[in-house]
Amino acid sequence: MAFPVLAVLCAGLGLAIYKYISGWRRNIAKARKTGLVYIAVPISPISLLWQLTFKIWVPLIQLLPRSLWEGWLFVMIPEWGYKTGQTHFDRLGTETFVLASPTRLMLYTQSAEVIHRMTQRREAFPKDVALYGILSMFGHNVLTTEGAVWRVHRKITSASFNEKNAAHTFAEAISQTRGMLDTWFGPEGERTGTTKTIRSLEHDTMTWALNIIGYVGFGLRLLWPGQTLPKDIDPKLAKYGSLDAPPGYTMSFAASVALTLERIVTILLFPATVLRVLPFKWAREAYEAKVNYLKYMDEFLRDKIEETQGGGAPREGMDIMGQLVQSKYGHRAAKENGPKLDDSEIVGNAFIMTVAGHETTANTLHFSLVELATNPGAQRRLQQDIDGLFGGADPATWDYEKHINALLASHVGACVNETLRLVPPVTVVPKIVSPDADQAIRIDGRTHVLPAGMSCSLMAVCAHRNPRWWPTRPSERTPGAPTDLDDFLPERWYRTRDEDGAAGGGAAAAATATTTTTTTTKGGVAAAAVVEEDIDDRADYGGFQGSDVSAALYRPVRGSYIPFSDGPRSCLGRRIAMVEMGAVLAVIFQRYSIELAVDDWASDEQVAAMGPAERRALYRRAQARSTETIRQADSVLTLKLHGGRHVPVRLVKRGMERFVSDPELV
């Protein structure tokens, strides 16, 4: 009896080993054929098994002789691009390499030239939407679809992203920033001129971004604790805007969105029926959040449809979900017979706007504030520019049309750019070689054929620090660093390309049109057809088309700077995000400065008793710790501080700084 079982087991094992080895050999052969540098790894770095257990294996593998793992282990560690920067690209002597595992072929690139081509040629290199499948759970949407379906979603959703709405968002961002400042200061802070130490900015920057997305996505006015809604507000809006749970709900609308996003992985992994009975707090929270969120969406949809069919003029202000409902149920929509979104797709798109616009913007604000506290020189220059633009004028009077371009062209825009360069929320943009056909691509003057279906990781976070495409100088901040590309230096956005030792050699190549060869393999016969392909940088896929500012500033080589991705699938919310960031930084730094907290080393009395040299030495310790903390950021959904990591800060009224006004501190 035992013998046949054993035999079957052995045969099964043999077959598995055979499949493993033959799959690996096949992929290695394919990798070699691309003509690119390649590395072979024993398991796919994105397989679930590896992702769940790598923390066990990595230290064990590292016990083996270094030569056995040095060449490939780095790529197996999640977020390796942020953690290791240029190191492994330098060691491999390439900007683009291929990985061959038994089950997968992947390409990694930090080449501006390759990134530019892949982001422009949407059909040859579509988005790897399989990775985003889970984000369709509330309905298909613009982020998770491809091809003709995506075009419909993109066309309909992009209608909301216009300059008029950007102006509305500017005003809302100003008002939300004041809510945040009031929360920080209170009457006590107004009197003393300083906040207490804020352990972490994360919670409040998340609230700030959520409140704005509530406005952008749903036309809502969401509140900070202690704020109340205006008395004359529409009772329907009051229901969604309230800080408490309205009848029939167990939490406020804002809480349901925040908690759904926070528990999104749980919600996606477990069906509601399971979550409901699991005896854990996280399960309960996830369940409650989802149930409330769906109920709000349902009711919201019905309200909006009613409002739309009631025939009143659409409400003034930004409201993506309202506009989507208009596009289906509005009077004008009835006359047009273009494709329409169905109800679940309306809800799906509204949800995806909160996913795409919440944590991304919150992190950008969080890191901008921390970087500015860590870099007093940059903070002082930022304040000079803000003073020049607005003087003491009340932010409520700032005019979008008059100010926005100058604001984004100033150090304010440069600081946002610099934060997005160093700590981009989306560190890797995932593409795939079209499954329909192999694709040829020119890299440094040579043509390489990439096999159909291969995944391609555009390593934004590495490209942003790649000295081949960025002008560099020796680092003043980090002695011994090969360049200043790891430093937070907003001034770099005012450098000219040739002023420095930039290896802009690839620039011209990346910017021009290309001739490519598409090789189609059918039944083993390779039929090659040469396709003349122009990279069309100006095609209109909706969203903001203009540049953020004037042409006089440093413009990165196309493909070397992609915090919002690029090309047809680039971020729809780019303009909105830049406008929000411009508003928040200007409002904060017009009247306040931000300093790293030093409580861990000295009390307020001790600091008060210190001379300038001692204060500087103290602040430098805080700067070093902050830099080290930022370096430990990691991604689950976006790049941020995890595991309780935090940078404590204080906000002080201008003129009351203890450290950052010292010109010796840079």
Ligand X SMILES: *[C@@H]1O[C@H](CO)[C@@H](O)[C@H](O)[C@H]1NC(C)=O
Could you list the residues known to form a binding site for heme, using ranges.
571
Nearer to ligand X, 295 or 574 (CB): 574
Q: Which residue is nearest to ligand HEM (CB)?
A: 573
Q: Are 289 and 251 in contact (CB under 8 A)?
A: yes
Q: What is the dihedral of CA 243, 260, 157, 535, to 10 degrees?
A: 130
Q: Could you say whether residue 356 binds ligand HEM (CB under 6 A)?
A: yes
Binding of ligand X at residue 417 (CB under 6 A)? Answer: yes
d(CA 307, CA 324): 13
For position 569 contacting ligand HEM by CB under 6 A, the verdict is: yes
Of 411-419, 427-435, 437-445, 652-660, the window that binds ligand X (rule: CB under 6 A) is: 411-419
Work out the number of other CB atoms within 10 angstroms of the CB of residue 40: 17
In whole angstroms, the minimum distance from the beta carbon of 456 to ligand X comes to 22
Residue 365 contacts ligand HEM per CB under 6 A: no
Q: Which of 181, 422, 549, 557 binds ligand X (CB under 6 A)?
A: 549
Interface with ligand X, residue 579, by CB under 6 A: no
Which residue number, 424 or 471, has a Cβ lying nearer to ligand HEM? 424
DSSP, res 194 = B
In the complex with ligand X, which residue's Cβ is closer, 184 or 561? 561
Pairing of strands 439-443, 446-450: antiparallel
Q: How far is the CB of 278 from ligand HEM (least distance, A)?
A: 31
For position 154 contacting ligand HEM by CB under 6 A, the verdict is yes
Q: Is 127 in the site for ligand HEM (CB under 6 A)?
A: yes
Q: Distance (Å, rounded) from C-alpha 573 to C-alpha 352?
A: 11
Q: Are strands 455-458 and 105-109 parallel, antiparallel or unpaired?
A: parallel
Q: What values do phi and psi take at 48, rounded to 5?
A: -60, -40
Q: Which is nearer to ligand HEM, 457 or 516 (CB)?
A: 457
**Which CB atom, from 104 or from 117, has the smaller least distance to ligand X?**
117
DSSP output for 570-624: S-TTHHHHHHHHHHHHHHHHHHEEEEE--TTT--HHHHHH--HHHHHHHHHHHHH
Indicate the length of the chain as a whole number.
666
313 burial level (CB within 10 Å; 0-12, 13-18, 19+): exposed
User: Under rule CB under 6 A, which residues in 430-449 are in contact with ligand HEM?
Assistant: 430
One DSSP character per residue, 124-153 reads TS-B-GGGGGGGGTT---TTT--HHHHHHH
- Choose, by CB under 6 A, the member of 24, 296, 400, 493 that binds ligand X: 493
Contact between 576 and ligand HEM per CB under 6 A: yes
Beta pairing partners, 458? 109, 429
CA distance 558 to 340: 34
The piece of 235-243, 275-283, 468-476, 546-554 that touches ligand X (CB under 6 A) is 546-554
Which of the listed partners (ligand X, ligand HEM, none) does 356 bind, with a CB threshold of 5 to 8 Å by partner kind?
ligand HEM
Cβ closest to ligand X, residue 263 vs residue 492: 492
Is 142 one of the binding residues for ligand HEM (CB under 6 A)?
Answer: yes
Which residues make up the interface to ligand X (CB under 6 A)? 409, 413-414, 417, 493, 547-549, 553-556, 561
In the complex, which residues of this chain contact ligand HEM (CB under 6 A)?
127, 142-143, 154, 216, 352-353, 356-357, 360-361, 364, 425-426, 429-430, 563-565, 569, 571-573, 576-577
